[in-house]
Amino acid sequence: MRRVVITGMGALTPIGNNTQAYLEGLRNGVSGANPITYFDTSSYKTQFACELKNFNPEDFIDRKELRRQDRFSVYAMVAADEAIQMSGLDLEKLDMDRTGVIFASGIGGMKTLEEEIEAHAHREGVPRFNPFLIPKMIIDIAPGLISMKYGFRGINYSTVSACASSTHAIMAAYDAIRIGRNDVVVTGGAEAAVTQVGLGGFSAMKALSTRNDDYLTASRPFDAERDGFVLGEGAGAFVLEELEHALKRGATIYGEVVGAAATADAYHITAPHPEGLGAAKVMELALEEAGMNPEDIDYINVHGTSTPLGDVSEIKAIQQVFGEAAYKLNISSTKSMTGHLLGAAGAIEAIAGVLAINNNFVPPTINHFTDDPEIDPKLNLTFNEAQEKEVNAMLSNTFGFGGHNASVIVRKYKG
């Protein structure tokens, strides 16, 4: 198996529109929540989300082209471009047949579909739809558009597993490189579900926080008074590269992907297994593939959505897998700051872990006020403030509706 390293990252998040800004937001414990600006929410139980701030897509993509894209694919293009620029890839020297894109989304072009259905309801006579409806809506258009922009002719597809989607994409890209199919793969995920249907659907499930009068602190992973997650949007991207390929061109290496795994709860369409069995197994398998012991992990970026059931089951899984080592590592949920980016969550949270490795700190779990008696108080959940710490290896968890579990492990590159 060939070794796989990270040579570029791109982040478009509710707390920073590029990787450096995202890093600063993570360090400072910034809340990305705000009253929703995209549509009138006065009739909704939840009226806030974690939207992007001061983002103008015309700064990145031609206006004519924007009419042919949904927001989610725009986000994917922007994050991928930053990752490619950071990687320093020379496109004139790159073997395009061995450079691919595996990019995820949990929902895809929801806004596009929503607009077309609404417009059709008001039309009379022969049905007339936008000819770009289907290509704007489909999830796999994101990797397709990225490949077309840069000429990447290698592996190209999307992974879809709800909130685990982009972690599965990273795992698939890692596998494609280590078995020799491709030398370079751009991977990650994008989501743009802050729409009327997105908000309404998750609200109907009672999955969202309803703290409209205290939206800045509404995302409260592990807090006894947590009442649901906060919807987020954006994208995260990596350039993964075969080690020798990266070394040959003198690339900066930000970390090495050493393990990844996927399991299923086989339990419930939306609820996690109460004992975290699938979550525990996926972490065990990732550690096994990485050839690492529990005590080798310094930081876990947890799924930690701020839901009553999910947070407790994930902690149970961590304690089951890590045993006494669980009390020596840091755990945090960056969803407390960014909200839940659904299919893009795994990508931006893995970026948070890689930034932790490269900057020797652990991002905080903000908005903690009241201890949950079901969660062991001796665990270091990095509450409220970032912690300075040497991070040599991190594990990132994401779990999706349908019982999908995915974990990825990145460690500091050591030559």
Spans of all domains in the chain: 4-248, 261-411
Those residues with Cβ within 8 angstroms of residue 248's Cβ, 6 or more apart along the chain or in another chain = none
- Which residues are known to be catalytic? 163, 303, 340
Supply the pLDDT for residue 122.
76
pLDDT band at 397 (very low <50, low <70, confident <90, very high): very high
pTM: 0.97
| Domain 261-411 listed as CATH 3.40.630.10 | no
Which of 409, 284, 414 is CA-nearest to residue 346? Answer: 409
Report the distance separating Cα 340 and Cα 303, nearest Å.
Answer: 9
Domain 4-248 coded CATH 3.40.366.30: no
pLDDT digit string, tens, across residues 116-127 = 998 887 777 778
Question: Tens digits of per-residue pLDDT, 37-63?
Answer: 999 999 999 999 999 999 999 999 999
Q: Tokens for 252, please give them.
A: 């900066």
Q: For residue range 233-245, list pLDDT tens digits in order.
A: 999 999 999 999 9
List, in order, residues 6 or more apart from 57 with CB less than 8 Å away: 66, 71, 74, 78
DSSP string, 319-349: HHHHGGGGGTSEEE-THHHH-B-GGGHHHHH
Residue 200 one-letter amino acid: G
Percent pLDDT > 90 in the chain is 97
Model confidence pLDDT, tens digit, residues 133-166: 999 999 999 999 999 999 999 999 999 999 999 9
* Ordered DSSP codes for 211-227: -GGGGGG---TTBTT--
Helix (H, G, I), strand (E, B) or coil at 245: helix
At 139 the pLDDT is 98
Q: How much is the average pLDDT of 347-374?
A: 98
CB contact set of 124 (below 8 Å; sequence gap of 6+): none
**pLDDT for 128:** 84
